[in-house]
Amino acid sequence: MATQAAAQNTEAVKLQKRRKPIPWGTIFTLMILGVGALLMIAPFMWIISAAFGKTTEVFVLPPRWFPQNPSLENFEEVFNQVPYHLFMFNSVKLAVIVTIGQLITCSMAAFAFARLQFPGKNILFVILLSSLMIPGQITIVPLFILVRNLGLYNTHLALILPGLINPFGVFLLRQYFVTIPTELEDAARVDGANVFTIYWRIILPLSGPVLTTLAILTFVGMWNAYFFPLIMINSPQLQVITVGLTLLRGQYGAGALGPIAAALTMAIVPVLIVFLLLQKYIIRSVVSTGLKT
C-alpha cells in the first residue's frame, strides 16, 4: 500500500516536473548577467573599502571587498593634502549654474524655433545643428586664446559662458515643443497673452519631462567635465573635482591607494545616491537621446 502510494507520489512529482521543466535557459541568462553585474560593482566596493581602511594596510592581497577596522584616516589625509572641499564646492556650483543657464538659453531659442515665425528661421536652425557634426576639440585652441584675451583665463566664467551654449539642447527641446498642441496657445492669444506669457506660462509648464532630461544631461556632463577645466583653470582653489582627483594622484603616484580611494569615494558616493534616487529619469534621459534620432 505504502509503496503504491509512494509510486503514485513519484509519478505525480514526475508529472509536475514535466509540466514545469527546469528553466535552464533562464538560469544561464541570470548567471551571465550576474557575473556582469558583479564585474561592474566589485571595483567600486574595493575602492570604498580601501577608503575606509587604515592608510598603512590597504593594497593587500587577496583584495578586500569590505572594510576591516574602519577608519577615517584616509579622508583626513586627503584634506591635509589638497582643498578637496573646494573642489567639490566648485563642481557643484558650476554644474548648478550651467544647468540652470542652459535651461533658460536653450528653452528660449527652442521656443522661437518651434513656435514663432521670423525670416531666416530655417537657415539659422540648420547652421546651429550643423555645428553638432564638428568635434569640440577643433575649437579648443582658439577658444583658449579668446578666453585669455577676454581676461577670463583661470576664472569660472571661462567654463560657464561657453557652457551656456548647447545646440543639441536647443534641438532636443525644439523637437518636444513642436508636439505641444497649439489650441492652448491660441486661446491664450485671444485672451491677450503676449509671446513671453505663452513661453513662460504654457510651453515651459507643459515640458517637464524634456526639461528634466536636458537638466540631467547637462548636470552629469558638467560634473564629469575634465578637458575644459584642465585647460582653463590654473589655481587649485578654483579647480573642480575631476582635475582635483588627478592633482591628488600627482602628489602620491601609483602607490598610495588609501587617500586616493577616499577622494574617489567622495566623488562617487554623491553621484551614486543621486543616481539611485533618480535612476528611472537618468536612464530614460540618457537613453532617449539615443533613440529619438
Partner 1 sequence: MSNKVMTYKAMKRREMLTAYAFILPTFVGFVIFIVGPMLASFAISLFDWNMLTPPRFIGLANFQQLFNDSRIGAVYLTTFKLAFMIVPTNMILGLSLAVLLDRKMPGLVRSFFKVSFFFPFVVSAVAVSIIWTFMFHRDLGPFNYYLGLLGIDRIPWLNSSTYSPFAIMIADVWRNVGFYVLVFLGGMQAIPRDFYEAAEVDGASVWKQFRHITLPLLSPTILFLTVISVIGALQIFEQPQILTNGGPGDATRTIVLYLYEQGFRFFDMATPLRLRSHCL
Question: Taking CB under 8 A as the criterion, which residues in 249-278 touch partner 1?
Answer: 249, 254, 257, 260-261, 264, 267-268, 271-272, 275-276
Q: Judged by CB under 8 A, does residue 13 bind partner 1?
A: no
Q: Judged by CB under 8 A, does residue 35 bind partner 1?
A: no
Positions 202 through 231 that interact with partner 1 (CB under 8 A):
220, 223-224, 226-227, 230-231
Judged on CB neighbours under 10 Å (0-12, 13-18, 19+), 182 is exposed
Positions 66 through 85 that interact with partner 1 (CB under 8 A):
none
CB 146 → partner 1: shortest distance, Å? Answer: 6
Candidates 9-17, 76-84, 177-185, 280-288 — which segment interacts with partner 1 by CB under 8 A? 280-288
Helix axes 257-291, 73-81, angle to 10 degrees: 80
Q: Judged by CB under 8 A, does residue 195 bind partner 1?
A: yes
Positions 44 through 63 that interact with partner 1 (CB under 8 A):
44, 46-47, 59-63
Q: Judged by CB under 8 A, does residue 25 bind partner 1?
A: yes
Distance, in Å, from the CA atom of 96 to the CA atom of 293, rounded to the nearest integer, reads 28
Q: Which three cell numbers stand for residue 235?
A: 589655481
Positions 98 through 157 that interact with partner 1 (CB under 8 A):
104-106, 108-109, 111-113, 116-119, 121, 124, 128, 131, 134-146
Residue number, 12 or 277, with CB nearest to partner 1? 277
Residue number, 140 or 215, with CB nearest to partner 1? 140
Distance, in Å, from the CA atom of 183 to the CA atom of 167, rounded to the nearest integer, reads 28
Per the rule left: phi > 0, alpha: psi between -120 and 50, beta: everything else, 218 is alpha
- Cβ atoms within 10 Å, residue 63: 13
Q: Judged by CB under 8 A, does residue 22 bind partner 1?
A: no
CB 192 → partner 1: shortest distance, Å? Answer: 12
Q: 69 and 136 in contact (C-beta within 8 Å)?
A: no
Could you say which of 49, 78, 156, 162 contacts partner 1 (CB under 8 A)? 162
Q: Which residues contact 243 (CB under 8 A, 6 or more apart)?
A: 87, 226, 229, 230, 233
CB 155 → partner 1: shortest distance, Å? Answer: 15
Measured in whole angstroms, the distance separating CA 205 from the mean position of its chain's CA atoms is: 24
Q: Which three cell numbers stand for residue 242?
A: 575631476
Q: Which residues contact 138 (CB under 8 A, 6 or more apart)?
A: none
Q: Judged by CB under 8 A, does residue 164 bind partner 1?
A: yes
Among 135, 218, 127, smallest CA distance to 172 is for 218
Candidates 8-16, 23-31, 82-90, 177-185 — which segment interacts with partner 1 by CB under 8 A? 23-31
CB 140 → partner 1: shortest distance, Å? Answer: 7
CB 232 → partner 1: shortest distance, Å? Answer: 10
CA quadruple 213, 41, 224, 126: dihedral sign: negative
Could you say which of 90, 99, 239, 242 contacts partner 1 (CB under 8 A)? 242
Q: In the chain, where does DSSP find H-type helix? A: 2-19, 24-51, 73-81, 84-115, 121-130, 140-149, 157-163, 167-177, 183-190, 195-197, 208-223, 227-232, 241-252, 257-291
CB 3 → partner 1: shortest distance, Å? Answer: 40
Residue number, 83 or 101, with CB nearest to partner 1? 101
